[in-house]
Homo-oligomer: A and B are copies of this chain.
Amino acid sequence: VTAPAEGAPEFGPESLPYGVFSREGDAPRVGVRIHDDVVDLAGLAHALDHPDAAVFAEPSLNALMALGPTRWKDIRAWVRSALTGATGVSEVVRRHRVTLDSVTLHLPVDVADYVDFYASQWHAGNVGRIFRPDSPALPANWRHLPIGYHGRAGTVVVSGTDVTRPRGQRAPREGPSPGFGPSEKLDIECEVGFLIGTGSELGHPVPVSEARRHIFGVVLLNDWSARDIQAWEYVPLGPFLGKSFATSISAWVVPFEAFDAAHVPLPGQDPPVLGYLDGPDDEIFGLDLRLEVLVNGHRVSAPGFRDMYWSVAQMVAHMTVNGASLRTGDLVASGTVSGPERDTFGSLLELTWNGTEPLDVGGGAGQGFLADGDLVTITGWAPGPDGGRVTLGEVSGRIRPSPSR
């Protein structure tokens, strides 16, 4: 069910994601993807005297993201109109349209803070059962608040960037000393990332009713995780080096507005949440994003984002309820997207039950975690308006061996 319908081309006018690209000799600039082409928005906007032309000449989306929801909507309408030929500018567009394989894609955003949530009850429950078999699967706080923590913004990389296997400490096996070396449990986390466009003021919480106005767009995200490093280090202050070596995001950022037809009710929250996390269905909603995880081209999972317990509006309200501000470029990730069924789990930790039930991921013998050379790709789409489809930017990365020293 996750492949686009036959004959339905991907990245049609329902998607129109923004990215940052360059061609040899040219500075990086903002483009929009249509099918397998990129339209140079800096060039197009300049040629057509668009008042926001300057934001497209930037080497990141941040200036565009800072403009706010009214101008995001206007600009998207202008882009769609230009690309669908409705305004008689098709010859101008053609001059600024190049093929995807002729460009280099860059990290689309200067990431401000990177916050990672833990919003799937299925994922959190699986992790609890694997790592803390003698405790309740979900921590006592889990259904009362969307648990989150800060990740490393400086190591967010664009899709296609190789990922070096991290080295680090792991728990002692024999004797009192910890082990050390390349991670033996290198994993993925299939996630969805929300990029904050407009910031907020320190000391002023963003209510659920306002959260949506701050969200610029959506990326797919792979939160690479070294389970052995993480398991040894994470008590009591949380994951650190088990995650901080790399987080990959898609090169293409699909505007949040594109998902208006993909809003779905949450699966249900019980017990009821506190007031600051509560709101009507048009503020607190799930998203019907259909994801797919491929390892070396083999599909290993098909998580559905509609199974997530917490809504993105609740995440934003929670992370600001203490007065913490948002900034343009903040990356708010959902946490691993896992559903109730085995073939919808979003990490190898879950898919192989901590390596005890190896998968065939095309790397030779059945394996529990990632081998050097493995290529991981996450793709996704969502229902669009009028039966169309919104394609999400894919995120991929290949594992390189640890450095020898």
Contact = CB atoms under 8 A, between A and B. Distances in A.
Contacts of A319: 240-241, 244
Contact of A148 (B164, B166, B226, B237): B237
B237 A113 contact: no
Interface stretch (A6-14, A202-210, A336-344): A202-210
A149 B321 CA distance: 21
Contact of A241 (B132, B166, B324): B324
A153 B325 CA distance: 10
For the residues of A in contact with B, the DSSP-based class is loop
Contact of A403 (B151, B203, B241, B326): B203
Contacts of A240: 147-150, 319
A238 B239 contact: yes
Most chain B beta-carbon contacts within 10 A, residue among A202, A203, A226, A322: A322
Contacts of A233: 141, 145, 147
A238 B238 contact: yes
A232 interface: yes
A176 interface: yes
A154 B274 contact: no
Given A155-B202, A164-B203, A164-B323, 17 more contacts: A139-B235, A141-B178, A144-B169, A144-B177, A152-B324, A153-B153, A164-B202, A166-B321, A167-B321, A167-B322, A168-B322, A177-B271, A180-B275, A237-B238, A241-B322, A245-B322, A323-B402
Given A322-B167, A324-B241, A150 B147 contact: no
A322 B113 contact: no
